[in-house]
Amino acid sequence: MTTECPILVGIFDGFSWIRCEGKGSFLNSPALKAFGLERITAGETCLVVDLQACTGMDSTFMGTLAGMATRLSAKDGAALQIADAGERNRHSLEDLGLDFLMDIDPEKAVWLESAGSIRSALKPHRPATGLGQIQQTKHVLEAHKVLSQTSERNLRAFSNVVTLLESELETKQKQAETPDEQS
């Protein structure tokens, strides 16, 4: 059985903070995205994603991070910053070339001196509604499309995944449109 690891959040003066505890995956990346987009829409220019307690990240989670970083980069002076990436998570992000989209462990961040007190003030983020099967598939597909767009290498690496997810989405949408014939 797969368990969802919590996403904790907080809004502070000059930045918003998102903390992943446990594995960053397709299960908790919708909560990451929901809060991130909410804050970007509200005009936030600095999102900090705290990976200190993150035990690893799957491609959907990293694609969600890349999508938020891309949205922020469209705003002048805005950035996605990664706090306490750790060796494993840093390697995962760098391996996909995502270190060019986000600031990993920035040396001069406004939050550096207060990271401990920030972490103690965070609250769990639970979006109002969970995703259905079609929405979850769309989310995973979007994350992989974002990863594919970051480099030619990622395009090759994720092309089969994108194709499979597109087919799966089409099947699920057709099934949802077809009335249950057993009624």
- Region 63-83: mean pLDDT is 95
**What pLDDT sits at residue 180?**
63
State the DSSP code for 110.
T
Identify whether 170 is part of a domain. Answer: no
**What pLDDT sits at residue 126?**
76
Map residue 165 onto helix, strand or coil. helix
The span from the CA of 106 to the CA of 28, in Å, is 25
* Average pLDDT for the chain: 92
**What pLDDT sits at residue 120?**
97
The CATH code of the domain that includes 31 is 3.30.750.24
| Full-model pTM | 0.91
Please write the tens of the pLDDT for every residue from 4-23. Answer: 679 999 999 999 999 999 99
Q: Which domain holds residue 73?
A: 7-127
Q: Using alpha carbons, select from 67, 57, 68 the residue that is nearest to residue 94.
A: 57
Residue 117 neighbours by CB distance under 10 Å: 10
Tell me how many domains the chain contains.
1
pLDDT at 182 over 60: no
Identify whether 161 is part of a domain. Answer: no
The span from the CA of 63 to the CA of 50, in Å, is 16
Identify whether 88 is part of a domain. Answer: yes
pLDDT at 183 over 70: no
**What pLDDT sits at residue 169?**
94
Identify whether 140 is part of a domain. Answer: no
Identify whether 165 is part of a domain. Answer: no
Specify burial of residue 99 (Cβ count, 10 A radius: 0-12, 13-18, 19+).
Answer: middle
Cα dihedral sign, 91-92-93-94: positive
**What pLDDT sits at residue 78?**
94
**What pLDDT sits at residue 167?**
95
pLDDT at 158 over 90: yes
Identify whether 172 is part of a domain. Answer: no
Give the C-alpha distances (Å, rounded to integers) separating 116 from 43, 45, 169: 25, 22, 42
